[in-house]
Amino acid sequence: MKIGVPIEIKNNENRVGMTPSGVFELTKRNHNVYIQKNAGFNSGFLDDDYIEAGATILDTIEEIYSVADMIVKVKEPIEPEYKLIKADQIVFTYFHFASSEVLTNAMIDSKAICIAYETVEDADGSLPLLIPMSEVAGRMSVQQGAKYLEKPIMGRGILLGGIPGVPPAKVLILGAGVVGLQAARMASGLGASVHILDINMKALRHVSDVMPNNVISEFSSEYNIRKHIVDSDLIIGGVLIKGARAPKLITRDMLKEMRPGTVMVDVAVDQGGCFETTKPTTHQDPTYIIDEVVHYSVANMPGAVPYTSTMGLTNVTLPYVIKLANDGWEKACKNSAALAKGLNIVKGEIVYKEIAEAFDMEMA
Ligand SMILES: NC(=O)c1ccc[n+]([C@@H]2O[C@H](COP(=O)([O-])OP(=O)(O)OC[C@H]3O[C@@H](n4cnc5c(N)ncnc54)[C@H](O)[C@@H]3O)[C@@H](O)[C@H]2O)c1
C-alpha cells in the first residue's frame, strides 16, 4: 500500500503521524511510505532519518494526498485539506467528529474511509489510542503546576518536595484514571504530599495497591473536596465521565476558601473542565488568575512536548497502521473488533451512532 504522512497544518500542532521507526516497519513489509518534507522536524525527526528508514520525501501536501492510498496523521483535517482527500482513501487520525458538523459534512462529501483514533476501542471499553496522550498530560500537569507555584509567576512560592526541615507542598488530584495516576506518580516522586480522589472504588483500591505512602486515596465527595482545597497548594483535575461533560467539582464560590497563589491545573478542560471557572487556554498564554487562584487549562497539553507525544502516539497507532496496510480496511476491520470501532464515516455514509445523533443525520 502507498502510505502518506503530511505535515500537520493545524495551529501549534508539532506532532507527526509516523516516526522513522514506523516507516522502517512498513517498508520492511513492502509498503511505500511518502513523508512530506520537514514533517517530522518539530518532533525531532529529520528527512534523512526517514529516508534511511526507507521513505520517499515529497515537497508538497498536494503530492502526499494525491499519491497515498492511506493518510496517517495526528489531528483532524482542516479546511485547506478537505479538497485534497480522495474517494476511497483511508484517513487514519484523530477526528472528534461530534464537535464539528463542518468537518463531518466535508468527510461525507469526500467519500473517504475515515477511521478515528479516538473511537478505536478494546473489548474492556478502554480507548488505546487516547491513553498515551492522557499519560503525557497527567505527568505534565505536575511539571506545569510546580512551575506556576513559583512566586514570580504569582504562585504561592512553595517547592513541591519541600526540603529537609520544611514540609512539602500538598497536591490534590481529582480523578484516579490515567491522568490522575500519572500525576500522582510524578508528584509523589518529587516528594509532595498527595491526596487523590475518585468515585470508583476499584480505581482507589488500585491507587492504594501501587502508590507510595505519600499518596493517600479518598472517596470523591463535595465534603471531602471542600475539606482539602483550603490547604492544597496544587489542585489537578483529571475526571472523566465517558461521553459527557465533566462535572463541576470546584465551583466559583470555593475559590475564596483557597489560599492566594494556589494553582489549579484542569486537564479535563477538553470535556468542559471540572472547575466552574475553567476556560480553555493556549501554550502561548496558558494561565489566568481569578480570586488570586492561578488557573492553567491548556486544551492540547501534549502539543508542548511533541518528541514524547509523537513517540507515545505512534507506538500505539503503528500496529493498526500495519494491519490496514497489509489487509486493506475491510479485512483489517473484520479481523479486529477494536479497529472496526474506529470506523466513523465510510464512502459518504456515517457508520458511528454518536456522530449521526450529534447532528441528527442518517446512519448507514
Ligand atoms: N488537556 C489535555 O491536553 C488533555 C490531554 C489528555 C487527556 N485529557 C482529558 O483528561 C481527562 C481525564 O482523562 P483520563 O484518560 O484520565 O480519563 P479516565 O477515564 O482514565 O479517568 C477519569 C477518572 O475520573 C473519575 N471520576 C468521574 N467522576 C468523578 C468525580 N466526581 N470525582 C472524582 N473522580 C471522578 C472516573 O471514575 C475515572 O477514574 C479527560 O477529559 C481527557 O479528555 C486532556
- CATH code of 43's domain: 3.40.50.720
279 and 148 within one domain: yes
33 and 89 within one domain: yes
311 and 263 within one domain: no
Query: For the ranges 231-240, 313-322, 333-342, 353-362, which has the lowest average pLDDT?
Result: 353-362
Residue 320 CA to ligand 1 centre (angstroms)? 25
332 and 235 within one domain: no
* 125 within some domain: no
Residue 180 CA to ligand 1 centre (angstroms)? 7
Domain closes at, from 257, 286, 304: 304
* 85 within some domain: yes
| Closest CA to ligand 1's atom 7 | 134
Domain closes at, from 304, 331, 351: 304
Tell me what pLDDT residue 221 has. 98
Tell me what pLDDT residue 45 has. 97
321 and 298 within one domain: no
206 and 348 within one domain: no
Tell me what pLDDT residue 98 has. 84
* 349 within some domain: yes
What's the average model confidence in pLDDT over 224-236? 98
Query: For the ranges 68-72, 141-145, 147-151, 353-357, which has the lowest average pLDDT?
Result: 353-357
85 confidence band (pLDDT: 50, 70, 90): very high
* 126 within some domain: no
Distances (CA, A) of 127 to 34, 60, 65, 316: 28, 33, 28, 11
247 and 220 within one domain: yes
Ligand 1 atom nearest residue 203's Cα: 39
| Closest CA to ligand 1's atom 9 | 268
pLDDT digits (tens, 9 = 90+) for 161-180: 999 999 999 999 999 999 99
Question: How many domains does the structure of the chain reveal?
Answer: 2
Tell me what pLDDT residue 24 has. 98
299 and 311 within one domain: no
Q: How far apart are CA 206 and CA 204, in angstroms?
A: 5
Query: For the ranges 12-16, 60-64, 126-130, 343-347, which has the lowest average pLDDT?
Result: 12-16
* 364 within some domain: no
334 and 299 within one domain: no
Tell me what pLDDT residue 263 has. 98
Tell me what pLDDT residue 99 has. 79
Tell me what pLDDT residue 242 has. 74
Tell me what pLDDT residue 130 has. 93
What's the average model confidence in pLDDT over 249-262? 98
Which residues form the domain of 222? Answer: 131-304
Tell me what pLDDT residue 364 has. 85
What is the average pLDDT score of the chain? 96
Instruction: Report the catalytic residues.
Output: 96, 270
249 and 159 within one domain: yes
172 and 95 within one domain: no
Q: Which residues are annotated as a binding site for substrate?
A: 15, 75
* 335 within some domain: yes
Instruction: Give the strand order in the sheet containing 113-116.
Output: 56-58, 32-36, 2-5, 70-72, 90-93, 113-116, 343-346, 349-350
What's the average model confidence in pLDDT over 103-127? 96
pTM (predicted TM-score): 0.90
* 40 within some domain: yes
| Pocket probe mutation, ligand 1, options 267, 281, 296, 316, max atoms within 8 Å of Cβ | 267
pLDDT at 270 over 90: no
The ligand 1 site (C-beta within 6 Å) comprises 133-134, 137, 174-180, 197-200, 203, 220, 238-241, 247, 249, 267-271, 299-302
pLDDT at 243 over 70: no
Residue 118 CA to ligand 1 centre (angstroms)? 14
Domain closes at, from 304, 330, 349: 304
261 and 190 within one domain: yes
pLDDT at 82 over 70: yes
* 293 within some domain: yes
11 confidence band (pLDDT: 50, 70, 90): confident
Q: How far apart are CA 31 and CA 85, in angstroms?
A: 20
Residue 65 CA to ligand 1 centre (angstroms)? 35
